[in-house]
Chain A
Amino acid sequence: KAGVTQTPRYLIKTRGQQVTLSCSPISGHRSVSWYQQTPGQGLQFLFEYFSETQRNKGNFPGRFSGRQFSNSRSEMNVSTLELGDSALYLCASSPDRQETQYFGPGTRLLVL
């Protein structure tokens, strides 16, 4: 069974731009969670989608948004990028609840 895939793997943007990241979960998994990882703040939870609905949300500003499609693929969007948004963005999928999550390789975003 193929693992979680994320595209693109690397991305360079400038301040003020917006970016969309994509995550394809493991086949049959309906839950997709997004995380931000930085050296300064560590790993932080952004939000979780389940059956096309945002089920849980972390403490991030509204510039960070996401959605999930009927095939469980998910996208995350960050608008009006700031330098501090430079990070590794990870998505994780699980069959139903969050207990066992499988992480993708991440998208490394650099904001200049």
Chain B
Amino acid sequence: GQNIDQPTEMTATEGAIVQINCTYQTSGFNGLFWYQQHAGEAPTFLSYNVLDGLEEKGRFSSFLSRSKGYSYLLLKELQMKDSASYLCAVREDVRGSYIPTFGRGTSLIVHP
């Protein structure tokens, strides 16, 4: 099993930058995912990291440090529509099976 921690809630201002952290403990790391989920909707894939470093995709970037069990999602030029829950998920190799485990999500509130 594994433990995934991310802040419950964050607030930020439109146009600003926000960093959502995720820490995890696992013995069979096999990739880390970030998803965005608006209230009442299904999650949307944002990023996937399996190697250390920064992956940039438009306004969103995701960073991974496997040795520290740490990742962050960076959102730039925040827009009101970025108000959503952001889920960190770690995929673990359990005896050859790939099992993703999700954090409880970080509710991001973007205000004008």
Contact = CB atoms under 8 A, between A and B. Distances in A.
Interface of A: 42-45, 48, 55-59, 90, 98-106
Nearest to B102: A43
Contacts of B101: 45
A90 B104 CA distance: 16
B48 interface: yes
A25 to B, nearest CB: 14
11 contacts: A42-B103, A43-B43, A43-B89, A43-B105, A55-B97, A56-B98, A98-B31, A98-B100, A103-B45, A105-B41, A105-B42
B25 to A, nearest CB: 17
A89 B99 CA distance: 17
Interface majority SS (helix, strand, loop, mixed), chain A: strand
B3 interface: no
Interface of B: 31, 41-45, 48, 87, 89, 91, 97-105
B42 A90 contact: yes
A89 B98 CA distance: 20
A99 B102 contact: no
A36 to B, nearest CB: 11
Nearest to A33: B100
Q: Of B45, B89, B103, which is in contact with the most chain A CB atoms at under 10 Å from its CB?
A: B45
Contacts of A98: 31, 91, 98, 100
B44 A103 contact: yes
Given A90-B43, A98-B91, A106-B42, A56 B99 contact: yes
B28 to A, nearest CB: 13
Contacts of B87: 43
Contact of B99 (A42, A45, A90, A103): A45
A103 B43 contact: yes
